[in-house]
A = this chain, B = another copy of it.
Amino acid sequence: MPDRTLETFFAFFTEIGIIEQLSRALLEARLPHGFLVSHFSVLNHLIRVQDGQTPLVLARAFQVPKTTMTHTLAVLEKHGLVEMRPNPDDKRSKRVWITATGRAFRDDAIAELLPDIERLRHRIDPAHLAQMTPGLEEVRVALDRDRDDPAR
């Protein structure tokens, strides 16, 4: 491996980690008291990707143990933000559906972020972000594929 490859990867992921921490704090500050980014993220995923998925599929998507997802979904269900229905194709499993309340919760959270975005757009050029996003997408897809099949 060329000498600088490790440093290159490490520097990249260090920046990713710090930005994630800072942006997570921004979002969490806007969520209703008691809710965490983990709750929001699951709702967002159910909308962004697809609802009706099983808890295990969600756990894999978020790289968390299935016990963690069981717990997160239980909280969301307790608040009526998702519905768990039996999976007719497999009696062991369930399917997770986002409710109208859940959609509203997610949309409200995003709306609450508007003042932050309004402030940040003076410091960070949106065009700059838009320019970087496809590159990040490629990295995300590559990491996803690597996780699914580390051998290849």
Binding site for B on A (CB under 8 A): 1-2, 4-6, 8-27, 41, 44, 48, 62-63, 110, 113-114, 117-121, 123-124, 126, 128-133, 135-140, 142-147, 150
Are A146 and B123 closer than 8 Å at their CB atoms? yes
Contact of A22 among B11, B12, B123, B143 (CB under 8 A): B143
> Nearest-CB distance from A72 to chain B (Å)?
14
Residues of B within 8 A of A4 (CB): 126
Q: A5-B121, A21-B62, A117-B6 are in contact. Are A12 and B133 (CB under 8 A)?
A: yes
Copies of the polypeptide in the assembly: 2
* 13 A-B contacts (beta carbon < 8 Å): A1-B114, A6-B110, A6-B117, A9-B120, A13-B27, A16-B16, A16-B23, A19-B140, A21-B62, A22-B144, A22-B147, A128-B135, A132-B135
Main secondary structure of the interface of A (DSSP, over half): helix
